Amino acid sequence: MCGILAVLGVADVSLAKRSRIIELSRRLRHRGPDWSGLHCHQDCYLAHQRLAIVDPTSGDQLLYNEDKSVVVTVNGEIYNHEELKAKLTTHKFQTVSDCEVIAHLYEEYGEEFVDMLDGMFAFVLLDTRDKSFIAARDAIGICPLYMGWGLDGSVWFSSEMKALSDDCERFITFPPGHLVLQQNRWSKEMVQPTMVSRKHSLNPLQSSSPPRDV
């Protein structure tokens, strides 16, 4: 298991806010003791606590496309990553992490790529070029994900409620098999997660480890 935290569209971009997000990310430390990562882009923050399963030596998150304009924080495992990677012959991968494929698929297919994923996952992807983002959770809901709204209109995502409860005015359990796509704005009235058409089947026999403690 890993821990993810994303805070998007904050009003306060001070060093104190950055420190606060790092503090909240550490509440998820028990989910990923192998590596901690933080990406900051203007008023957006993505954090990650990693438990290394696939590519333990070079798969530290956060994960990026070639020019780092697309950044992903993800908890989970993409079982068909080799098949998907074979479709991306023009892309250069920085790691052999199964989850890096998410950033490159987004570049190639847009939000439609979510329907191509076979696995267990919860992720937040930020496109820094226009500050759009996608958050998604696997169809069965093996990997946990919560969504919250801050008083300043910011949007939050986390693997556990404990990273949201003190800083969000309200929060929900992000439903399995859904995604949120948002472009150029954040709002407390943001559209709720919508159902994704799922063609894949989740087969734990394909996993490198049993789907437990996610």
pLDDT tens track for 80-130: 999 999 999 999 999 989 999 999 999 999 999 999 999 999 999 999 999
Instruction: Give the pLDDT score at 72.
Output: 96
CA 140/CA 26 separation, integer angstroms: 27
Give the residue carrying structure tokens 């790092």: 22
CA 152/CA 159 separation, integer angstroms: 21
pLDDT tops 60 at residue 210: no
Instruction: Give the pLDDT score at 1.
Output: 67
Query: Could you give all domains of the chain from N- to C-terminal order, each with its CATH number?
Result: 3-197 (3.60.20.10)
pLDDT band at 191 (very low <50, low <70, confident <90, very high): very low
The model carries a pTM of 0.83
Question: Which residues participate in catalysis according to the annotation?
Answer: 2
* Best CA proximity match to 37, nearest among 84, 79, 75, 77: 75
Note whether 44 and 130 are within 8 A (CB).
no
